[in-house]
Structure 1
Amino acid sequence: MREMTKRPVVTISFFRFSRITARIWALYMMGRARLSLPSVPGIGFWKLCGSGSGEGFTPLPNTAVFAILATWPDEQTARTQIDRAPIFDKYRSKASESWTVFLETSSVRGVWSGDTPFHPTGQKITGPLAALTRATVKPSLALKFWRRVPDISQMIGSDNNVAFKIGIGEVPLLHQVTFSIWPDANAMAAFARHNGPHASAIRAVRDEDWFSEELYARFAILGDTGSWEGASPLAKLDIHV
Protein backbone atom coordinates (compact mmCIF):
# COMPACT_ATOMS: atom_id res chain seq x y z
CA MET A 1 0.00 0.00 0.00
CA ARG A 2 1.22 3.50 -0.85
CA GLU A 3 2.82 5.42 2.03
CA MET A 4 0.88 8.57 2.90
CA THR A 5 2.59 11.83 2.02
CA LYS A 6 3.82 14.10 4.80
CA ARG A 7 3.48 17.15 2.58
CA PRO A 8 0.48 19.53 2.48
CA VAL A 9 -2.66 18.07 0.92
CA VAL A 10 -5.71 19.59 -0.75
CA THR A 11 -9.12 17.93 -0.67
CA ILE A 12 -12.28 18.63 -2.61
CA SER A 13 -15.41 16.96 -1.26
CA PHE A 14 -18.50 16.82 -3.47
CA PHE A 15 -21.99 16.16 -2.12
CA ARG A 16 -25.14 15.35 -4.07
CA PHE A 17 -28.51 16.06 -2.42
CA SER A 18 -31.54 14.35 -3.96
CA ARG A 19 -34.37 15.31 -1.62
CA ILE A 20 -35.79 18.85 -1.62
CA THR A 21 -35.42 19.10 2.15
CA ALA A 22 -31.76 18.11 1.89
CA ARG A 23 -31.17 20.75 -0.80
CA ILE A 24 -32.71 23.42 1.40
CA TRP A 25 -30.45 22.26 4.23
CA ALA A 26 -27.38 22.46 1.94
CA LEU A 27 -28.27 26.02 0.93
CA TYR A 28 -28.64 26.96 4.59
CA MET A 29 -25.24 25.39 5.32
CA MET A 30 -23.55 27.70 2.83
CA GLY A 31 -23.77 30.18 5.68
CA ARG A 32 -23.92 27.94 8.76
CA ALA A 33 -20.93 25.73 7.88
CA ARG A 34 -18.69 28.81 7.96
CA LEU A 35 -18.97 28.66 11.74
CA SER A 36 -17.99 24.98 11.93
CA LEU A 37 -15.19 24.54 9.41
CA PRO A 38 -12.59 26.76 11.16
CA SER A 39 -12.76 24.51 14.23
CA VAL A 40 -11.92 21.29 12.33
CA PRO A 41 -8.49 20.17 13.61
CA GLY A 42 -5.73 20.70 11.07
CA ILE A 43 -7.82 22.51 8.47
CA GLY A 44 -6.19 25.47 6.76
CA PHE A 45 -7.65 27.34 3.80
CA TRP A 46 -11.22 26.30 2.99
CA LYS A 47 -14.07 27.31 0.71
CA LEU A 48 -17.75 26.38 0.47
CA CYS A 49 -18.97 26.17 -3.12
CA GLY A 50 -22.18 25.67 -5.02
CA SER A 51 -22.30 24.36 -8.58
CA GLY A 52 -23.79 25.17 -11.93
CA SER A 53 -26.35 23.08 -13.81
CA GLY A 54 -25.33 20.26 -16.12
CA GLU A 55 -21.64 19.59 -15.45
CA GLY A 56 -21.44 22.89 -13.61
CA PHE A 57 -20.22 25.05 -16.49
CA THR A 58 -23.32 27.22 -16.71
CA PRO A 59 -24.58 30.30 -14.81
CA LEU A 60 -27.74 28.44 -13.75
CA PRO A 61 -27.32 27.03 -10.21
CA ASN A 62 -27.61 23.35 -9.45
CA THR A 63 -29.13 23.10 -5.99
CA ALA A 64 -28.32 19.37 -5.84
CA VAL A 65 -24.50 19.58 -5.82
CA PHE A 66 -22.24 21.38 -3.35
CA ALA A 67 -18.54 21.16 -2.55
CA ILE A 68 -16.05 21.85 0.22
CA LEU A 69 -12.43 22.59 -0.68
CA ALA A 70 -9.87 22.43 2.11
CA THR A 71 -6.12 22.31 2.75
CA TRP A 72 -4.38 20.15 5.35
CA PRO A 73 -0.82 19.79 6.71
CA ASP A 74 -0.52 16.17 5.54
CA GLU A 75 -2.50 13.30 4.06
CA GLN A 76 -3.15 11.47 7.33
CA THR A 77 -4.76 14.56 8.86
CA ALA A 78 -6.83 15.09 5.73
CA ARG A 79 -8.13 11.54 5.65
CA THR A 80 -8.83 11.44 9.39
CA GLN A 81 -10.78 14.70 9.44
CA ILE A 82 -12.72 14.02 6.25
CA ASP A 83 -13.75 10.71 7.80
CA ARG A 84 -14.42 11.85 11.39
CA ALA A 85 -15.01 15.61 11.63
CA PRO A 86 -18.68 16.26 12.58
CA ILE A 87 -19.24 18.83 9.81
CA PHE A 88 -18.17 16.40 7.06
CA ASP A 89 -20.14 13.59 8.69
CA LYS A 90 -23.23 15.81 8.79
CA TYR A 91 -22.92 16.57 5.08
CA ARG A 92 -22.58 12.87 4.24
CA SER A 93 -25.59 11.97 6.36
CA LYS A 94 -27.78 14.39 4.38
CA ALA A 95 -26.30 13.61 0.96
CA SER A 96 -27.45 10.84 -1.34
CA GLU A 97 -23.88 10.53 -2.59
CA SER A 98 -20.48 12.01 -1.73
CA TRP A 99 -16.95 11.84 -3.07
CA THR A 100 -13.65 13.29 -1.84
CA VAL A 101 -10.44 13.43 -3.85
CA PHE A 102 -7.04 13.87 -2.16
CA LEU A 103 -4.49 15.98 -4.01
CA GLU A 104 -0.88 17.13 -3.74
CA THR A 105 -0.06 20.46 -5.37
CA SER A 106 2.53 20.24 -8.12
CA SER A 107 2.35 23.86 -9.33
CA VAL A 108 0.27 26.96 -8.73
CA ARG A 109 0.20 30.59 -9.79
CA GLY A 110 -2.09 33.40 -8.78
CA VAL A 111 -4.12 34.05 -5.64
CA TRP A 112 -7.52 33.18 -4.20
CA SER A 113 -9.25 35.85 -2.10
CA GLY A 114 -5.88 37.55 -1.85
CA ASP A 115 -4.27 34.42 -0.41
CA THR A 116 -1.87 31.79 -1.76
CA PRO A 117 -3.70 28.71 -0.48
CA PHE A 118 -1.75 25.83 -2.03
CA HIS A 119 1.87 24.86 -1.39
CA PRO A 120 3.51 23.39 -4.50
CA THR A 121 6.11 20.64 -4.38
CA GLY A 122 7.48 21.49 -7.82
CA GLN A 123 7.55 17.79 -8.68
CA LYS A 124 6.69 16.88 -12.24
CA ILE A 125 3.56 14.79 -12.67
CA THR A 126 4.14 11.83 -14.98
CA GLY A 127 0.69 10.24 -14.78
CA PRO A 128 -2.89 11.30 -14.07
CA LEU A 129 -3.38 14.82 -12.80
CA ALA A 130 -6.03 17.27 -11.71
CA ALA A 131 -6.34 20.89 -12.78
CA LEU A 132 -8.11 23.71 -10.98
CA THR A 133 -8.75 27.21 -12.24
CA ARG A 134 -10.38 29.91 -10.16
CA ALA A 135 -11.30 33.42 -11.27
CA THR A 136 -13.18 36.45 -10.07
CA VAL A 137 -15.03 37.85 -13.08
CA LYS A 138 -15.30 41.61 -13.31
CA PRO A 139 -19.02 42.45 -12.94
CA SER A 140 -18.99 44.65 -16.05
CA LEU A 141 -17.70 41.70 -18.13
CA ALA A 142 -19.74 38.88 -16.57
CA LEU A 143 -22.20 38.71 -19.47
CA LYS A 144 -19.39 38.33 -22.01
CA PHE A 145 -17.81 35.60 -19.89
CA TRP A 146 -20.96 33.50 -19.50
CA ARG A 147 -21.79 33.76 -23.21
CA ARG A 148 -18.56 31.85 -23.89
CA VAL A 149 -18.96 29.17 -21.24
CA PRO A 150 -21.67 26.94 -22.86
CA ASP A 151 -19.47 26.32 -25.91
CA ILE A 152 -16.52 25.43 -23.68
CA SER A 153 -18.76 23.15 -21.62
CA GLN A 154 -19.87 21.26 -24.73
CA MET A 155 -16.26 20.91 -25.85
CA ILE A 156 -14.93 19.54 -22.55
CA GLY A 157 -18.00 17.34 -22.14
CA SER A 158 -17.28 15.61 -25.43
CA ASP A 159 -13.58 15.03 -24.63
CA ASN A 160 -13.25 11.34 -23.73
CA ASN A 161 -9.92 11.97 -22.02
CA VAL A 162 -11.58 13.83 -19.14
CA ALA A 163 -12.17 11.45 -16.23
CA PHE A 164 -14.05 14.05 -14.18
CA LYS A 165 -15.07 17.67 -14.69
CA ILE A 166 -17.23 20.13 -12.81
CA GLY A 167 -17.80 23.85 -12.45
CA ILE A 168 -18.29 25.21 -8.94
CA GLY A 169 -18.11 28.62 -7.31
CA GLU A 170 -18.44 30.69 -4.16
CA VAL A 171 -20.59 33.49 -5.55
CA PRO A 172 -22.93 32.86 -8.51
CA LEU A 173 -21.89 34.52 -11.80
CA LEU A 174 -18.81 36.29 -10.39
CA HIS A 175 -16.65 33.56 -8.81
CA GLN A 176 -15.97 30.57 -11.02
CA VAL A 177 -13.93 27.43 -10.25
CA THR A 178 -13.33 24.67 -12.77
CA PHE A 179 -11.96 21.32 -11.67
CA SER A 180 -11.00 18.47 -14.00
CA ILE A 181 -9.06 15.21 -13.92
CA TRP A 182 -6.99 13.99 -16.88
CA PRO A 183 -5.03 10.83 -17.71
CA ASP A 184 -1.86 12.84 -18.30
CA ALA A 185 -0.52 16.32 -19.03
CA ASN A 186 -0.48 15.73 -22.79
CA ALA A 187 -4.23 15.09 -22.91
CA MET A 188 -4.93 18.22 -20.89
CA ALA A 189 -2.56 20.32 -23.03
CA ALA A 190 -4.19 19.06 -26.23
CA PHE A 191 -7.57 20.29 -24.99
CA ALA A 192 -6.13 23.68 -24.01
CA ARG A 193 -4.34 24.15 -27.34
CA HIS A 194 -7.28 23.12 -29.52
CA ASN A 195 -8.28 26.09 -31.68
CA GLY A 196 -11.88 26.23 -30.50
CA PRO A 197 -14.06 27.99 -27.92
CA HIS A 198 -11.65 27.35 -25.03
CA ALA A 199 -8.63 28.84 -26.82
CA SER A 200 -10.77 31.74 -28.03
CA ALA A 201 -11.97 32.46 -24.49
CA ILE A 202 -8.40 32.38 -23.15
CA ARG A 203 -7.36 34.97 -25.72
CA ALA A 204 -10.33 37.15 -24.76
CA VAL A 205 -9.46 36.89 -21.07
CA ARG A 206 -5.98 38.26 -21.81
CA ASP A 207 -6.93 40.83 -24.42
CA GLU A 208 -9.94 42.25 -22.57
CA ASP A 209 -8.77 41.71 -18.96
CA TRP A 210 -11.91 39.87 -17.79
CA PHE A 211 -10.69 38.81 -14.34
CA SER A 212 -9.83 40.83 -11.27
CA GLU A 213 -8.21 37.78 -9.64
CA GLU A 214 -7.22 34.36 -10.91
CA LEU A 215 -5.45 31.17 -9.84
CA TYR A 216 -4.27 28.11 -11.75
CA ALA A 217 -3.07 24.91 -10.09
CA ARG A 218 -2.07 21.38 -11.05
CA PHE A 219 -2.19 18.45 -8.66
CA ALA A 220 -0.95 14.90 -8.37
CA ILE A 221 -3.79 12.58 -7.38
CA LEU A 222 -3.24 10.70 -4.12
CA GLY A 223 -6.55 8.84 -3.98
CA ASP A 224 -10.19 9.25 -3.08
CA THR A 225 -13.05 8.04 -0.92
CA GLY A 226 -16.74 7.67 -1.68
CA SER A 227 -18.38 7.58 -5.10
CA TRP A 228 -19.85 9.83 -7.77
CA GLU A 229 -22.59 8.63 -10.09
CA GLY A 230 -22.23 5.22 -8.49
CA ALA A 231 -18.47 4.75 -8.86
CA SER A 232 -15.09 6.34 -8.26
CA PRO A 233 -14.15 8.67 -11.13
CA LEU A 234 -10.57 7.54 -10.55
CA ALA A 235 -11.49 4.00 -11.57
CA LYS A 236 -11.30 5.23 -15.17
CA LEU A 237 -7.61 5.94 -14.53
CA ASP A 238 -6.90 2.83 -12.46
CA ILE A 239 -5.60 4.86 -9.51
CA HIS A 240 -8.40 4.38 -6.97
CA VAL A 241 -6.82 4.34 -3.47
Structure 2
Amino acid sequence: MAACGGRPIQTVTLSIHRFDTVSARLWAFAQMGASRLPLSRVPDCQFWKLCGSGSGEGFTPRPETAVWAILAVWPDAATARIRLRDTPVFRRWRDRASEDWTLFLRPTSVRGEWSRRTPFSASPDPGGPLAALTRATIRPRHLLRFWDQAPAISDVIGADPNVAFKIGIGEIPFLHQITFSVWPNAASMAAFARADGPHARAIRAVRDGDWFAEELYARFRVIDTCGHWQAARPLPTEGQAA
Protein backbone atom coordinates (compact mmCIF):
# COMPACT_ATOMS: atom_id res chain seq x y z
CA MET A 1 0.00 0.00 0.00
CA ALA A 2 1.44 3.36 -1.02
CA ALA A 3 1.53 5.94 1.75
CA CYS A 4 2.63 9.50 2.33
CA GLY A 5 3.85 10.35 5.82
CA GLY A 6 2.33 7.09 7.08
CA ARG A 7 -1.06 7.86 5.50
CA PRO A 8 -2.57 6.02 2.52
CA ILE A 9 -2.49 7.91 -0.77
CA GLN A 10 -5.89 8.41 -2.37
CA THR A 11 -6.38 6.70 -5.73
CA VAL A 12 -8.92 7.67 -8.39
CA THR A 13 -10.01 5.19 -11.05
CA LEU A 14 -11.58 6.01 -14.39
CA SER A 15 -13.04 2.87 -16.00
CA ILE A 16 -14.12 3.29 -19.61
CA HIS A 17 -16.27 0.70 -21.40
CA ARG A 18 -17.27 0.18 -25.01
CA PHE A 19 -20.46 -1.67 -25.95
CA ASP A 20 -20.71 -2.73 -29.58
CA THR A 21 -24.13 -4.35 -29.85
CA VAL A 22 -27.52 -2.67 -29.59
CA SER A 23 -28.55 -4.87 -26.67
CA ALA A 24 -25.33 -4.10 -24.80
CA ARG A 25 -25.80 -0.37 -25.36
CA LEU A 26 -29.35 -0.52 -24.06
CA TRP A 27 -28.05 -2.41 -21.03
CA ALA A 28 -25.41 0.27 -20.39
CA PHE A 29 -27.99 3.04 -20.72
CA ALA A 30 -30.21 1.29 -18.17
CA GLN A 31 -27.24 1.03 -15.80
CA MET A 32 -27.19 4.80 -15.43
CA GLY A 33 -30.06 4.16 -13.04
CA ALA A 34 -29.65 0.51 -12.08
CA SER A 35 -25.98 0.74 -10.99
CA ARG A 36 -26.46 3.68 -8.67
CA LEU A 37 -27.57 1.71 -5.63
CA PRO A 38 -24.89 -1.02 -5.99
CA LEU A 39 -22.18 1.62 -6.35
CA SER A 40 -23.40 3.49 -3.29
CA ARG A 41 -22.91 0.28 -1.29
CA VAL A 42 -19.37 -0.59 -2.44
CA PRO A 43 -17.11 -0.64 0.63
CA ASP A 44 -14.33 1.97 0.70
CA CYS A 45 -15.69 3.89 -2.31
CA GLN A 46 -15.47 7.52 -1.22
CA PHE A 47 -17.02 9.12 -4.32
CA TRP A 48 -18.34 7.84 -7.66
CA LYS A 49 -19.99 9.05 -10.84
CA LEU A 50 -21.63 7.22 -13.75
CA CYS A 51 -21.02 8.99 -17.06
CA GLY A 52 -21.98 8.89 -20.70
CA SER A 53 -19.73 10.25 -23.43
CA GLY A 54 -19.80 12.53 -26.45
CA SER A 55 -19.20 11.48 -30.04
CA GLY A 56 -16.01 12.06 -32.01
CA GLU A 57 -13.24 13.14 -29.65
CA GLY A 58 -15.94 13.24 -26.96
CA PHE A 59 -16.15 17.01 -26.55
CA THR A 60 -19.45 17.42 -28.41
CA PRO A 61 -23.13 17.60 -27.41
CA ARG A 62 -23.97 14.61 -29.60
CA PRO A 63 -23.92 11.47 -27.40
CA GLU A 64 -21.85 8.39 -28.14
CA THR A 65 -24.10 5.51 -27.12
CA ALA A 66 -21.28 2.95 -27.24
CA VAL A 67 -18.96 4.47 -24.60
CA TRP A 68 -19.73 4.80 -20.89
CA ALA A 69 -17.55 5.38 -17.84
CA ILE A 70 -17.37 4.96 -14.08
CA LEU A 71 -15.21 7.30 -12.01
CA ALA A 72 -14.50 6.21 -8.44
CA VAL A 73 -12.35 7.40 -5.54
CA TRP A 74 -10.60 5.00 -3.15
CA PRO A 75 -8.42 5.38 -0.04
CA ASP A 76 -5.41 3.75 -1.74
CA ALA A 77 -4.33 1.83 -4.86
CA ALA A 78 -4.47 -1.62 -3.26
CA THR A 79 -8.08 -1.12 -2.18
CA ALA A 80 -8.98 0.19 -5.64
CA ARG A 81 -7.60 -2.93 -7.31
CA ILE A 82 -9.41 -5.30 -4.97
CA ARG A 83 -12.78 -3.54 -5.24
CA LEU A 84 -12.65 -3.22 -9.02
CA ARG A 85 -11.65 -6.86 -9.36
CA ASP A 86 -14.11 -8.40 -6.90
CA THR A 87 -17.18 -6.15 -6.64
CA PRO A 88 -20.13 -7.52 -8.67
CA VAL A 89 -21.16 -4.16 -10.18
CA PHE A 90 -17.71 -3.60 -11.71
CA ARG A 91 -17.51 -7.21 -12.90
CA ARG A 92 -20.90 -6.91 -14.62
CA TRP A 93 -19.75 -3.87 -16.57
CA ARG A 94 -16.55 -5.60 -17.69
CA ASP A 95 -18.38 -8.79 -18.66
CA ARG A 96 -20.86 -6.90 -20.85
CA ALA A 97 -18.31 -4.61 -22.50
CA SER A 98 -16.48 -5.47 -25.72
CA GLU A 99 -13.56 -3.32 -24.57
CA ASP A 100 -12.66 -1.77 -21.23
CA TRP A 101 -9.78 0.24 -19.81
CA THR A 102 -9.13 1.54 -16.31
CA LEU A 103 -6.67 4.27 -15.40
CA PHE A 104 -5.34 4.43 -11.84
CA LEU A 105 -4.66 8.04 -10.92
CA ARG A 106 -2.96 9.86 -8.07
CA PRO A 107 -4.36 13.37 -7.49
CA THR A 108 -1.61 16.00 -7.36
CA SER A 109 -3.68 19.20 -7.44
CA VAL A 110 -7.35 20.06 -7.20
CA ARG A 111 -9.35 23.28 -7.25
CA GLY A 112 -13.11 23.72 -7.06
CA GLU A 113 -16.06 21.47 -6.25
CA TRP A 114 -18.00 18.60 -7.78
CA SER A 115 -21.57 18.14 -6.54
CA ARG A 116 -20.80 20.65 -3.77
CA ARG A 117 -17.77 18.78 -2.46
CA THR A 118 -14.08 18.40 -3.25
CA PRO A 119 -13.71 14.66 -3.95
CA PHE A 120 -9.96 14.49 -4.55
CA SER A 121 -7.11 14.88 -2.04
CA ALA A 122 -3.80 16.04 -3.50
CA SER A 123 -0.57 14.23 -2.60
CA PRO A 124 3.09 14.73 -3.63
CA ASP A 125 3.75 14.36 -7.35
CA PRO A 126 5.62 11.11 -8.17
CA GLY A 127 6.27 12.05 -11.81
CA GLY A 128 5.14 10.21 -14.92
CA PRO A 129 2.37 10.79 -17.45
CA LEU A 130 0.01 13.58 -16.45
CA ALA A 131 -3.80 13.52 -16.62
CA ALA A 132 -5.98 16.61 -16.53
CA LEU A 133 -9.66 16.63 -15.61
CA THR A 134 -12.06 19.54 -15.78
CA ARG A 135 -15.67 19.25 -14.71
CA ALA A 136 -18.30 21.94 -14.99
CA THR A 137 -21.99 22.53 -14.53
CA ILE A 138 -23.01 24.88 -17.34
CA ARG A 139 -25.53 27.60 -16.55
CA PRO A 140 -28.63 26.90 -18.70
CA ARG A 141 -28.63 30.39 -20.21
CA HIS A 142 -25.11 29.77 -21.60
CA LEU A 143 -25.68 26.28 -23.03
CA LEU A 144 -25.84 27.36 -26.67
CA ARG A 145 -22.72 29.50 -26.39
CA PHE A 146 -20.75 26.77 -24.66
CA TRP A 147 -21.63 24.01 -27.11
CA ASP A 148 -20.99 26.31 -30.03
CA GLN A 149 -17.35 26.49 -28.86
CA ALA A 150 -16.94 22.78 -28.08
CA PRO A 151 -16.47 21.30 -31.60
CA ALA A 152 -13.55 23.62 -32.35
CA ILE A 153 -11.88 22.69 -29.06
CA SER A 154 -12.44 19.02 -29.84
CA ASP A 155 -10.67 19.37 -33.20
CA VAL A 156 -7.66 21.07 -31.62
CA ILE A 157 -7.26 18.47 -28.88
CA GLY A 158 -7.66 15.63 -31.37
CA ALA A 159 -4.93 17.06 -33.60
CA ASP A 160 -2.38 17.58 -30.81
CA PRO A 161 0.34 14.89 -31.23
CA ASN A 162 1.22 14.97 -27.53
CA VAL A 163 -2.16 13.75 -26.30
CA ALA A 164 -1.96 10.07 -25.37
CA PHE A 165 -5.68 9.84 -24.63
CA LYS A 166 -8.68 12.15 -24.47
CA ILE A 167 -12.38 11.77 -23.79
CA GLY A 168 -15.35 13.96 -23.03
CA ILE A 169 -17.86 12.50 -20.59
CA GLY A 170 -20.64 13.79 -18.38
CA GLU A 171 -23.32 12.86 -15.85
CA ILE A 172 -26.23 14.75 -17.43
CA PRO A 173 -26.20 15.52 -21.17
CA PHE A 174 -25.63 19.18 -22.10
CA LEU A 175 -25.61 20.49 -18.49
CA HIS A 176 -22.55 18.65 -17.15
CA GLN A 177 -19.27 18.33 -19.01
CA ILE A 178 -16.09 16.50 -18.01
CA THR A 179 -12.96 16.68 -20.12
CA PHE A 180 -10.20 14.18 -19.43
CA SER A 181 -6.87 14.01 -21.22
CA VAL A 182 -3.51 12.30 -20.69
CA TRP A 183 -0.21 14.00 -21.56
CA PRO A 184 3.42 12.79 -21.44
CA ASN A 185 4.44 15.65 -19.14
CA ALA A 186 3.38 18.99 -17.68
CA ALA A 187 5.24 21.00 -20.33
CA SER A 188 3.25 19.58 -23.25
CA MET A 189 -0.04 20.12 -21.44
CA ALA A 190 0.90 23.68 -20.48
CA ALA A 191 1.91 24.48 -24.06
CA PHE A 192 -1.52 23.40 -25.29
CA ALA A 193 -3.31 25.42 -22.60
CA ARG A 194 -1.27 28.58 -23.35
CA ALA A 195 -1.57 28.42 -27.16
CA ASP A 196 -3.91 30.97 -28.65
CA GLY A 197 -6.84 29.25 -30.33
CA PRO A 198 -10.33 27.86 -29.64
CA HIS A 199 -9.35 26.47 -26.23
CA ALA A 200 -7.87 29.74 -24.97
CA ARG A 201 -10.77 31.77 -26.38
CA ALA A 202 -13.31 29.48 -24.72
CA ILE A 203 -11.56 29.84 -21.36
CA ARG A 204 -11.65 33.62 -21.65
CA ALA A 205 -15.35 33.51 -22.57
CA VAL A 206 -16.12 31.28 -19.59
CA ARG A 207 -14.32 33.61 -17.21
CA ASP A 208 -15.74 36.81 -18.64
CA GLY A 209 -19.30 35.51 -18.95
CA ASP A 210 -19.56 33.42 -15.76
CA TRP A 211 -20.80 30.43 -17.78
CA PHE A 212 -20.34 27.80 -15.06
CA ALA A 213 -22.43 27.32 -11.92
CA GLU A 214 -19.85 24.91 -10.52
CA GLU A 215 -16.40 23.89 -11.71
CA LEU A 216 -13.52 21.66 -10.69
CA TYR A 217 -10.00 21.36 -12.08
CA ALA A 218 -7.70 18.51 -11.12
CA ARG A 219 -4.39 17.04 -12.18
CA PHE A 220 -3.25 13.49 -11.62
CA ARG A 221 -0.31 11.25 -12.29
CA VAL A 222 -1.16 8.05 -14.12
CA ILE A 223 0.27 5.36 -11.85
CA ASP A 224 -1.06 2.34 -13.74
CA THR A 225 -3.62 1.08 -16.24
CA CYS A 226 -5.37 -2.21 -16.85
CA GLY A 227 -7.44 -3.52 -19.71
CA HIS A 228 -7.28 -2.24 -23.28
CA TRP A 229 -8.46 0.73 -25.33
CA GLN A 230 -7.67 0.98 -29.02
CA ALA A 231 -7.84 4.77 -29.11
CA ALA A 232 -5.18 5.18 -26.41
CA ARG A 233 -1.48 5.35 -27.11
CA PRO A 234 0.76 3.18 -24.88
CA LEU A 235 1.73 4.94 -21.67
CA PRO A 236 5.17 4.61 -20.00
CA THR A 237 3.61 3.08 -16.84
CA GLU A 238 1.45 0.54 -18.69
CA GLY A 239 1.39 -2.71 -16.72
CA GLN A 240 3.48 -1.46 -13.77
CA ALA A 241 2.26 -1.90 -10.23
CA ALA A 242 1.16 1.23 -8.42
| Coarse TM-score class (shorter-chain normalised) | over 0.9
1:139 aligns with 2:140: yes
> Hey, what does 1:92 align to over in structure 2?
94
State how 1:205-216 maps to structure 2 within 5 Å: 205-216=206-217
Task: Name which of 5, 25, 28 aligns with 1:26.
Answer: 28
Alignment partner, residue 224 of structure 2: 223
Percent identity at matched positions?
57
Aligned residue pairs total 235
Tell whether 2:98 aligns with 1:109.
Answer: no
- Name stretches of at least 5 consecutive residues in structure 2 with no aligned partner: none
Could you tell me which residue of structure 2 aligns to residue 161 of structure 1? 162
Separation in structure 1 between the aligned mates of residue 126 and residue 75 of structure 2, nearest angstrom: 20
AA at the equivalent of 1:43: C
TM-score (norm 2): 0.94
Listed as ranges, the matches of 1:10-159 within 5 Å are 10-121=12-123, 123-124=124-125, 126-159=127-160
User: What letter matches 1:143 in structure 2?
Assistant: L
- Are the aligned partners of 1:16 and 1:96 in contact in 2 as well (CA < 8 Å)? yes
For 2:95, the aligned partner's letter is S
| CA positional deviation for 1:125 | 5.5
Aligned to 1:189: 190
Q: Do the aligned partners of 1:127 and 1:185 also contact (CA within 8 Å) in 2?
A: no
Counterpart residue type for residue 214 of structure 2? E
In structure 1, distance between residues paired with 2:9 and 2:125: 15
1:239 to 230, 237, 240: 237
1:11-51 per-position Cα deviation (integer Å, ceiling 9, x unaligned): 00000000000000000000010010011121110000000
3-state SS of the aligned residue for 2:34? Answer: helix
TM-score by length of 1: 0.95
Question: RMSD across aligned C-alpha pairs, in angstroms?
Answer: 1.2
Name the counterpart of 1:178.
179
**3-state SS of the aligned residue for 2:91?**
helix
Runs of at least 4 residues off by over 4 Å: none
Counterparts of 2:115 and 2:128 in 1: how far apart (Å)? 30
Aligned residue identity for 1:51: S
- The range that moved more, 3-12 or 125-134, is 3-12
Instruction: Check the 8 A contact 2:101/2:228 in 1, yes or no.
Output: yes
